Amino acid sequence: MSDRSRARRERLSTLVLGADDLVELVDRTGRDRLMDLMIERLRRRFDEHDPSTVLARKRDGFRYDKPALGLVEWMPTHELGGPVVVKMVGYHPTNPSQRALPSVIATTSMWDSESGHLVALADATLLTAVRTGAASAIATDVLAVDRPIRLGIVGLGAQAVTQLHAISRVRSISSVVAIDSDDDIARTFADRVAFTGIDIETAPPERADTIVGEVDVLCTCTSVDIGAGPVVGDTAPTPWLHVNAVGADFPGKLELPASLVEQAFVVPDVAEQCLVEGECQQVPALRHGPEIPDVVRHADRHAARRSELTVFDSTGWSVEDDVALRLAVELAGDYNLGTEFVIECLPPDPYDPYSSADSDHARDR
C-alpha cells in the first residue's frame, strides 16, 4: 500500500445514510421492530431527561415568499457528553402540486462533540415521521384508557400512517374512523396502512364535526391553514378522550376547539414552543400541564389522567431527532449500511490550508 492510500484511509470519514440506505434500514429492521425501538429509545430519553444537561434551541429558520412561499429551519440539540445533532427541515407547500415533491424535506446531521467532526448525515423525512408517531404512542400509552381503543384520525397524509402504526404498538385498536377533507387522500389511506392489519372505516369530512364524542383516542395531523382551524367540531368529547395534536406547528395554526383545549389536561412536548405554535396557544395562562418527559417519568402520578380528557401538544422536539438519528446510525452499523465519505478537508499540515494538494502531489511524484 502506498503512503498516499494509507494517509487516505486514516482520514476521518462521515457516514452518509441516503435514501436507499433508509429504505433498506426499514426493510432489514422491519417496520414494527423499528417503531418499537424508536418508542423504547424515546421513552427512555423522556424518562431520563434532565433539562440541565440538554442544550436545545427552539426551531428557527428563514421564512420567505420568493421564489415561492416556503421556509428552511434548523433544530439543533446537544446533550452534554453526547453528540451535537442538527435537523434541517424545509417546508414548501407548493412542492406536491408544482414539483411532485413532498412539502416537507428534511436531513439530519451529527457532530462529535470531542473533535467537531461531522460523524453522520442522513435523510430525516422518514425518521421524522417515525419519531413523531413514537412520541404520540408514548403519550397515548401514558394518558389514554388502558383497554382496546376506538381511534379517530383527522388528516390522512404521511403523518397519519406512522401515528396509526405507532399507536397500534402500544394499544390494541378495535376500530378506526379516518377522515380527510380531500377525498383522493382519504381513498388511499386504508391501502397505506394495510400492513398493520387494522380495519379502517373511512368517513366523510363532515364526520369530523362529531368525532371527539365517538372515539377513545384521536390523532389530528392535518395541514390546516393558519386561521382555518379547528379541524374537529366543538361538541362534547368522550370524557376520557386522549388527543394527539400533531398538525399545529405555526403561529395561528390550530386543530382543536378552544373549549376542548381549555377543559383538557394539556401536555406540551416543549412548552415554550407550544405556546407559540401549538395548541397551547389556546391554553389560558399557566394552565398547561407538565411537559411530556415529566409525565413519562411520573406516569404513576398521572395514572388518573387516563379517565380524563387529555391533549398531547406535539410540535416536534429536537431531542426526538437526536434519538432518531442515534438509532438510525446504530442500526446502519448493525447492517453495515451507508457510505463512508471523506468530506472534511483536513490538511496534513494544520497550519497550511493548501497543504492537502501539495502533499498529495508530492507523494505522487
| CB of 118 or CB of 154, closer to a second copy | 118
| Residue 188 found at the interface with a second copy (CB under 8 A) | yes
DSSP annotation of 198: -
**Could you say which of 7, 37, 105, 299 contacts a second copy (CB under 8 A)?**
105
| Residue 4 found at the interface with a second copy (CB under 8 A) | no
| Residue 162 found at the interface with a second copy (CB under 8 A) | yes
Query: Which of 190, 241, 233 is closest to 215 using CA atoms?
Result: 241
Residue 266 CB, shortest distance to a second copy, in Å, is 27
| CB of 155 or CB of 289, closer to a second copy | 155
| Residue 187 found at the interface with a second copy (CB under 8 A) | no
**Could you say which of 4, 44, 57, 301 contacts a second copy (CB under 8 A)?**
57
Residue 122 CB, shortest distance to a second copy, in Å, is 8
CA dist., res. 301 & res. 57, Å (int): 29
Phi–psi pair at 149, nearest 5 degrees = -115, 155
Sign of CA dihedral 310, 199, 148, 159: negative
| Residue 225 found at the interface with a second copy (CB under 8 A) | no
| Residue 129 found at the interface with a second copy (CB under 8 A) | yes
| CB of 209 or CB of 272, closer to a second copy | 272
**Could you say which of 9, 226, 341, 363 contacts a second copy (CB under 8 A)?**
341
| Residue 26 found at the interface with a second copy (CB under 8 A) | yes
| Residue 42 found at the interface with a second copy (CB under 8 A) | no
| CB of 12 or CB of 37, closer to a second copy | 12
CA dist., res. 89 & res. 59, Å (int): 10
| Residue 95 found at the interface with a second copy (CB under 8 A) | yes
| Residue 240 found at the interface with a second copy (CB under 8 A) | no
**Could you say which of 1, 2, 6, 62 contacts a second copy (CB under 8 A)?**
62
| CB of 76 or CB of 230, closer to a second copy | 76
Q: Which of residues 269-328 bind a second copy (CB under 8 A)?
A: none
Task: Annotate 121-173 with DSSP letters as a single string.
Answer: EEE-HHHHHHHHHHHHHHHHHHHS-SS-EEEEEE--SHHHHHHHHHHHTTS-E
* Cα 264 to Cα 167, 242, 281, 297, distances in angstroms: 20, 9, 14, 20
Site for a second copy (CB under 8 A): how many residues?
Answer: 91
| CB of 53 or CB of 210, closer to a second copy | 53
Task: Give the ranges where the chain is alpha helix by DSSP (H).
Answer: 3-9, 19-29, 31-48, 95-99, 125-143, 158-168, 183-192, 258-263, 271-277, 292-297, 318-335, 355-364
| Contacts of 288-294 spanning 24+ positions with Cβ under 8 A | 288/313, 289/265, 291/267, 292/46, 292/135, 292/138, 292/139, 292/267, 292/268, 293/45, 293/46, 293/47, 293/49, 294/49
| Residue 197 found at the interface with a second copy (CB under 8 A) | no
Sign of CA dihedral 121, 125, 128, 129: negative
Residue 241 CB, shortest distance to a second copy, in Å, is 26
**Could you say which of 303, 344, 362, 363 contacts a second copy (CB under 8 A)?**
344
Contact by Cβ (8 Å): 78, 101: no
Residue 363 CB, shortest distance to a second copy, in Å, is 12
| CB of 91 or CB of 265, closer to a second copy | 91
Residue 284 CB, shortest distance to a second copy, in Å, is 33
CA dist., res. 279 & res. 267, Å (int): 10
| CB of 105 or CB of 258, closer to a second copy | 105
| Residue 64 found at the interface with a second copy (CB under 8 A) | yes
| Residue 235 found at the interface with a second copy (CB under 8 A) | no
Name the 3-class secondary structure at 362: helix
